[in-house]
C-alpha cells in the first residue's frame, strides 16, 4: 500500500495514528537538529519531521532529498509545536520512522509554487510541472465540477448526451476548417467540426428531442487570449421549442452552475433581455459589459450644425460617455486616451473631451467652435455634474464609431474599478440581424450560421430587403463576454435553400455541401433550436481569469503550437506518400 492517507487529510484528531503518505517534495528545511520536508500531493501539503537526535541516519537521508523527489513516508501523527493556520494540515506533522524514495527528480526549471518564477513559454513546455501548482490545479478542479454539474442539470431536464464524430465534412461556423487527409480516399479530406451543428440538427430529425454534448470544436482562426484552435462547447439542441423555451432551460442551467459551482446566487428574476440594436445603441457592442453604466448618449442634435466644428458637422454619428470623477485628468492623461482610440486596433480619428468644473462650467477641447449655451446643453444632455469628464467620438458610420467608443467605455470602466471580477452581470442579447455584409467577400454572410431561422414576420423581406431581416438568434452575455449563443433553426428544405441562395451558394454547391441536411428535412423534421456555451470561457469567468488557457490542461500558444509536444511538426515522407500528398517547394527565405 503506497499510502493510508493523502497529504491534505490529516488533522489534530488523527494524533497518535501511524500513517503512510506518498507525494512530492515541496521543500526541505534544516533547523537546528531537525529537518522538515513539506510533502505535497493533489490534496494538500503535510509536514514531515526528522530528528537528528533520535535517528541521525534517517535525518541525514532526509537532508539529501531534492525538490520534486517522489517519496513514501511512514510515521506517527503528532501535534505541531508551531502551528500554521494557513494550511488545513497546519496543526499536525508526521514524525517519520521510514522513508522510501519512489523516484528522484531533476531540479524543476521553475518553482512549483503559487507564484512561480517561470515565464509563460517555460511553463507551457513543462506543463506537467505547471499543473502541479495549486492555482493551476484548482482551475482544473473547477472545470471538472462545472462539467459534472452541467451533466447533472441537463440530465434532470431529460437531455441525452450523444457523441458525434470528429472526422466529418465541413460545418461552416464562419472560420476556416482544419482538414484531415484520408488515406483510403486519396485526394479527399475530412474536416474537423467547427461545431456539431448539422449533426445535432439531424439528431432532432431522428427524434432524440433533447441532446447535449460536452464536445471539442476546431476552428482555424487567428488566436487571442480567449481563443484556442480546439476548444470545448456545451452543445445543446431541443425539439418542439421556441426561443423562450430555450432561454428558460439555459437560464436555469446558468443559475444552477453559478450556485453549485461558484456559490453565487443569481436570484429568481429572469436575466435582462436586450435587442441587438439596443445593445449597439447604448453600449456599442453586441456583448455589453453591464457591470457598470457609462451608457452612450447620442449628441448629434446638440453638436451637429450648432458650431463651426467641421468634424462633427459632417459626422453621421456623434456619441459621448460621461466618466464620473475624471474631470481632473491632466492634458497628458487625455492625450493618452486620444492615442488609445487612435491606435491601429481601434482606428478612430480622434477624441473630443469636455470637463465639468466644480462650479458646473464646461471646458472642452472644442470650446472655440461652440457657444457657452451649446456647451451647457451638452452637459444637460449628458446629465453631467461637477467633476465629470465627457468623452465624445464621431464618425461617418454609426456602428463602427459605436464599437470604438465601446473600447473607450471598457477602458474607463476598468480604470474606475467597475469591472469587478467577483460581480456578474448576465443578459440575453436577442433579435440579431440575420446577415451582415462582408466587404472582403462582397456578399452577405450569416451573422450566426446558415441554419438559423429568420423571424417569421421577416420572411417576406428575404426577397425584397434581406439585409434588414432579423434572426431568431440569441446570445448569453456575462460581463462583456459572449458565453453562449444559439438560434431557432430552419426546418424547411425550401427556406433553407433560399438562405443558401442569399448567401451566394449556387443550388449545386448547396446540394453538394448540405444536401444531406436539406434531404433530411424532407423526412419530417420537427421545429427545433438550440445553443452552445463556450465551456473554457465560462469556466475562466468563474475563476476570474482573463485567458482561457489557464483552464485547459494542455493549451496551445498564440501561434497555435503545443510547445510541450512540439506540434504541429513535419511528417515522414512515407506518410505523405501514402496520402498521395506532395508539398509545394519551400518559399525562398528572405535574406
Ligand atoms: N453551433 C453554434 C456555435 O457553435 C451554436 C448553436 O447555434 O447552437 O456557435
Q: What pLDDT score was predicted for residue 587?
A: 78
Q: How far is the CA of 145 from the centre of ligand 1 (A)?
A: 23
Does residue 387 sit in the same domain as residue 463?
Answer: no
- 459 assigned to some structural domain: yes
Does residue 395 sit in the same domain as residue 435?
Answer: no
pLDDT surpassing 70 at residue 591: no
Q: CA-CA distances (angstroms) from residue 475 to 190, 271, 494, 514?
A: 30, 12, 26, 25
Q: How far is the CA of 128 from the centre of ligand 1 (A)?
A: 32
Q: What is the per-residue pLDDT across 206-253, written as a single tens digit (0 to 9) for each? A: 999 999 999 999 999 887 767 899 999 999 999 999 999 999 999 999
- 529 assigned to some structural domain: yes
Q: What pLDDT score was predicted for residue 145?
A: 98
- In sequence order, the β-bridge partners of residue 28 are 37
Residue 588 binned pLDDT confidence (cut-offs 50, 70, 90)? confident
Q: What pLDDT score was predicted for residue 156?
A: 98
Does residue 269 sit in the same domain as residue 347?
Answer: no
Please give the helix or strand (H or E) that residue 392 lies within, else none: strand 389-395
Q: Is the pTM of this model over 0.85?
A: yes
pLDDT surpassing 70 at residue 498: yes
Give the nearest ligand 1 atom to 233 CA: 4
**Residue having the nearest C-alpha atom to atom 8 of ligand 1:** 531
**Pair 436, 424: CB distance under 8 Å:** no
Query: Which domain, by its residues, includes 77?
Result: 12-103
Which of 364, 384, 415 marks a domain boundary?
Answer: 415
Q: What CATH number does residue 381 fall under?
A: 3.30.1360.30
Number of domains in the chain: 3
**Residue having the nearest C-alpha atom to atom 4 of ligand 1:** 195
Tell me what the mean pLDDT of segment 126-140 comes to.
Answer: 97
Q: How far is the CA of 56 from the centre of ligand 1 (A)?
A: 65
Give the nearest ligand 1 atom to 529 CA: 8
pLDDT surpassing 90 at residue 77: yes
pLDDT surpassing 90 at residue 76: yes
* CA–centroid distance for 494 within its chain: 36
Report the share of the chain in percent with pLDDT over 70. Answer: 99
Q: Which residues contact 273 (CB under 8 A, 6 or more apart)?
A: 247, 427, 428, 429, 430
Does residue 451 sit in the same domain as residue 537?
Answer: yes
* CA–centroid distance for 211 within its chain: 23
pLDDT surpassing 70 at residue 261: yes
pLDDT surpassing 90 at residue 564: yes
Does residue 410 sit in the same domain as residue 434?
Answer: no
**Phi first, then psi: what are they for 529, rounded to 5°?**
-170, 170
Please give the helix or strand (H or E) that residue 545 lies within, else none: none
**Pair 48, 41: CB distance under 8 Å:** no
- On average, the pLDDT of the chain sits at 95
Q: Which of 201, 237, 530 to mutate to test the pocket of ligand 1 (most atoms within 8 A of CB)?
A: 530
Tell me what the mean pLDDT of segment 405-433 comes to.
Answer: 97
Q: How far is the CA of 535 from the centre of ligand 1 (A)?
A: 13
In angstroms, rounded to a whole number, what is the distance separating the alpha carbons of residues 108 and 111?
7
- 351 assigned to some structural domain: yes
Which of 48, 78, 103 marks a domain boundary?
Answer: 103
Does residue 446 sit in the same domain as residue 528?
Answer: yes
Give the nearest ligand 1 atom to 196 CA: 1
Exposed/middle/buried for residue 207 (C-beta within 10 Å: 0-12, 13-18, 19+): exposed
Q: What pLDDT score was predicted for residue 174?
A: 78
Give the nearest ligand 1 atom to 200 CA: 8
Q: How far is the CA of 449 from the centre of ligand 1 (A)?
A: 8
Q: What pLDDT score was predicted for residue 422?
A: 95
Q: What pLDDT score was predicted for residue 451?
A: 96
In angstroms, rounded to a whole number, what is the distance separating the alpha carbons of residues 126 and 591?
34
Report the share of the chain in percent with pLDDT over 90. Answer: 94
**Residue having the nearest C-alpha atom to atom 3 of ligand 1:** 532
**Residue having the nearest C-alpha atom to atom 7 of ligand 1:** 486
**Pair 284, 274: CB distance under 8 Å:** no
Residue 9 binned pLDDT confidence (cut-offs 50, 70, 90)? very high
For the chain, state the CA radius of gyration: 30
pLDDT surpassing 70 at residue 511: yes
Q: How far is the CA of 256 from the centre of ligand 1 (A)?
A: 21
Tell me what the mean pLDDT of segment 313-322 comes to.
Answer: 97
Q: Dihedral, CA atoms, 47, 50, 51, 55, nearest 10 degrees?
A: 160
Please give the helix or strand (H or E) that residue 385 lies within, else none: none
Does residue 459 sit in the same domain as residue 339?
Answer: no
Does residue 153 sit in the same domain as residue 265?
Answer: yes
Q: Which of 471, 472, 486 to mutate to test the pocket of ligand 1 (most atoms within 8 A of CB)?
A: 486
Q: What CATH number does residue 466 fall under?
A: 3.30.930.10
pLDDT surpassing 80 at residue 172: no
Q: What CATH number does residue 37 fall under?
A: 2.40.50.140
Q: What is the per-residue pLDDT across 55-65, written as a single tens digit (0 to 9) for each? A: 999 999 999 99
pLDDT surpassing 90 at residue 38: yes
- 46 assigned to some structural domain: yes
Does residue 372 sit in the same domain as residue 314?
Answer: yes
Listed range (121-135, 211-225, 280-294) with the worst mean pLDDT: 211-225
Does residue 439 sit in the same domain as residue 410?
Answer: no
Q: What is the per-residue pLDDT across 424-474, written as a single tens digit (0 to 9) for each? A: 999 999 999 999 998 888 999 999 999 999 999 999 999 999 999 999 999
- 221 assigned to some structural domain: yes
Give the nearest ligand 1 atom to 236 CA: 8
Give the nearest ligand 1 atom to 489 CA: 7
- 184 assigned to some structural domain: yes
Which of 103, 121, 149 marks a domain boundary?
Answer: 103
Asked, as a colleague might, if the bond just before 433 is cis with ω within 30 of 0, I would say no
- 557 assigned to some structural domain: no
Which residues form ligand 1's pocket by a CB distance below 6 Å? 173, 195, 197, 485-487, 530-532
- 573 assigned to some structural domain: no
Q: How far is the CA of 317 from the centre of ligand 1 (A)?
A: 33
Q: What pLDDT score was predicted for residue 355?
A: 96
Does residue 148 sit in the same domain as residue 258?
Answer: yes
Does residue 96 sit in the same domain as residue 35?
Answer: yes
Q: What pLDDT score was predicted for residue 579?
A: 95
Amino acid at each position: 500500500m503506497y499510502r493510508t492517507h493523502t497529504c491534505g487529510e490529516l488533522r489534530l484528531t488523527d494524533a497518535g495514528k501511524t500513517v503512510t503518505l506518498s507525494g512530492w517534495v515541496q521543500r526541505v528545511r534544516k533547523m537546528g537538529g531537525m529537518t522538515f520536508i513539506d510533502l505535497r500531493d493533489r490534496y494538500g501539503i503535510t509536514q514531515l519531521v526528522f530528528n537528528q537526535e533520535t535517528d541521525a541516519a534517517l535525518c541525514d537521508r532526509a537532508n539529501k532529498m531534492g525538490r520534486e523527489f517522489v517519496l513514501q513516508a511512514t510515521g506517527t501523527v503528532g501535534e505541531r509545536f508551531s502551528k500554521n493556520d494557513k494550511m488545513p494540515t497546519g496543526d499536525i506533522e508526521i514524525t517519520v520512522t521510514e522513508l522510501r524514495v519512489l523516484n528522484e527528480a531533476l531540479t524543476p526549471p521553475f518553482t512549483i509554487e503559487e507564484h512561480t518564477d517561470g515565464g509563460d513559454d517555460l511553463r507551457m513546455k513543462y506543463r506537467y510541472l505547471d499543473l502541479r501548482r495549486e492555482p493551476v490545479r484548482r482551475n482544473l478542479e473547477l472545470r471538472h465540477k462545472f462539467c459534472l454539474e452541467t451533466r447533472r442539470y441537463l440530465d434532470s431536464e431529460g437531455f441525452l448526451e450523444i457523441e458525434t464524430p470528429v472526422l466529418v465534412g465541413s460545418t461552416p461556423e464562419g472560420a476556416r476548417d482544419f482538414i484531415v487527409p484520408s488515406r483510403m480516399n486519396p485526394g479527399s479530406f475530412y474536416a474537423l467540426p467547427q461545431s456539431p451543428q448539422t449533426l445535432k440538427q439531424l439528431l432532432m430529425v431522428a427524434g432524440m428531442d433533447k441532446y447535449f454534448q460536452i464536445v471539442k470544436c476546431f476552428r482555424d482562426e487567428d488566436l487571442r487570449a480567449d481563443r484556442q484552435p480546439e476548444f470545448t462547447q456545451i452543445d445543446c439542441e431541443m425539439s418542439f421549442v421556441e426561443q423562450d423555451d430555450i432561454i428558460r432551460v439555459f437560464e436555469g442551467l446558468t443559475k444552477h452552475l453559478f450556485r453549485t459551482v461558484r456559490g453565487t446566487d443569481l436570484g429568481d428574476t429572469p436575466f435582462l433581455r436586450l435587442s441587438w440594436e439596443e445593445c449597439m445603441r447604448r453600449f456599442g457592442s453586441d456583448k455589453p459589459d453591464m457591470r457598470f453604466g457609462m451608457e452612450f448618449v447620442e449628441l448629434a442634435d446638440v453638436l451637429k450644425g450648432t458650431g463651426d466644428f467641421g468634424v462633427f458637422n459632417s459626422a453621421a454619428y456623434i456619441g459621448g460617455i460621461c466618466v464620473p470623477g475624471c474631470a481632473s485628468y491632466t492634458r497628458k492623461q487625455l492625450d493618452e486616451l486620444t492615442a488609445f482610440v487612435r491606435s491601429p486596433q481601434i482606428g478612430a480619428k480622434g477624441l473630443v473631451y469636455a470637463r465639468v468644473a466644480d462650479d458646473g462650467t464646461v471646458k472642452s477641447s472644442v470650446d472655440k467652435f461652440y457657444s457657452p449655451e451649446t456647451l451647457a446643453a451638452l452637459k444637460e444632455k449628458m446629465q453631467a455634474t461637477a467633476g465629470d469628464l465627457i468623452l465624445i467620438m464621431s464618425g461617418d458610420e454609426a456602428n463602427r464609431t459605436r464599437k470604438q467608443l465601446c473600447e473607450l467605455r471598457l477602458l474607463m470602466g476598468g480604470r474606475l474599478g467597475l469591472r469587478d471580477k467577483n460581480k456578474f452581470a448576465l443578459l440575453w442579447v436577442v433579435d440579431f440581424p440575420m446577415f451582415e455584409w462582408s466587404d472582403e467577400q462582397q456578399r452577405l454572410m450569416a451573422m450566426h450560421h446558415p441554419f438559423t431561422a429568420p423571424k417569421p414576420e421577416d420572411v417576406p423581406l428575404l426577397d425584397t430587403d434581406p439585409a434588414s431581416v432579423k434572426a431568431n438568434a440569441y446570445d448569453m452575455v456575462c460581463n462583456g463576454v459572449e458565453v453562449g449563443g444559439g438560434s431557432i433553426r430552419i426546418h424547411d428544405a425550401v427556406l433553407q435553400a433560399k438562405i443558401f441562395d442569399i448567401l451566394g451558394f449556387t443550388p449545386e454547391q448547396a446540394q453538394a455541401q448540405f444536401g444531406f441536411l436539406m434531404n433530411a428535412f424532407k423526412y419530417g423534421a420537427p421545429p427545433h433550436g438550440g445553443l452552445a456555451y463556450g465551456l473554457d470561457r465560462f469556466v475562466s469567468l468563474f475563476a476570474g481569469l482573463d485567458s482561457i488557457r489557464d483552464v485547459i490542461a494542455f493549451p496551445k500558444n498564440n501561434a497555435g503550437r503545443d510547445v510541450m509536444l512540439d506540434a504541429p511538426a513535419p511528417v515522414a515522407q512515407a506518410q505523405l506518400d501514402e496520402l498521395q500528398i506532395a508539398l509545394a517547394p519551400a518559399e525562398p527565405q528572405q535574406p
